[in-house]
Amino acid sequence: MNMQTWNPFQEFESLIERYNESRAGNLGRRLENDLSFADWAPSVDIEEQEDRFLIKADLPGVDRNDIEVKVENGVLSIRGEKRMEKSSDEGTRRHRTERFYGSFARSFTLPDAVKADEVDANFKDGVLALTIPKAEQARPRAIDIKVG
């Protein structure tokens, strides 16, 4: 008799996968632009420097042509798709897939005091780096205190 360890999380993951598949099948591509229907969301770091904000998103395995960055109505959106690698051998069977595939999306509300039309995007080694310059009035400045 073979004993197998029960993993309650596997059932939960399976339930989520079936839900996502059924939702995608029923709603079709008409909800393509809705950020809430992404399959996964990349991890990001957000830093603030004196003259700019930096956003770095981990997108390993994503082709640069499958990424879209847009600023609209004060919201910065990162969208795209990570495509599953196709097996070169017909006889290959997948036993486990833990990496995320499918469409992804993240959105961030920008502060009012940024230059949204000057956002710079750079993609290298699977990391998307966005630089968002601050407007002049947003930069901190020292104020001299006068005596008497």
- Quote the CA–CA distance of 21 and 113 in Å, as a whole number: 41
End-to-end CA distance of the chain: 92
Q: Judge whether 84 and 98 are in contact, CB under 8 Å.
A: no
| 2 pLDDT more than 70 | no
Would you say the pTM of this structure is higher than 0.85? no
Per-residue pLDDT, 96? 82
Domains of the chain: 33-83+101-142 (2.60.40.790)
Q: Judge whether 133 and 117 are in contact, CB under 8 Å.
A: no
Per-residue pLDDT, 92? 81
74-121 tens-digit pLDDT = 999 999 999 887 776 777 887 888 888 889 999 999 988 899 999 999
The upper half-sphere exposure of residue 76, i.e. CA atoms within 13 Å in the direction of its Cβ, equals: 23
- Of 9-18, 60-69, 89-98, 126-135, the one with minimum mean pLDDT is 9-18
Q: What average pLDDT does range 67-75 have in this prediction?
A: 93
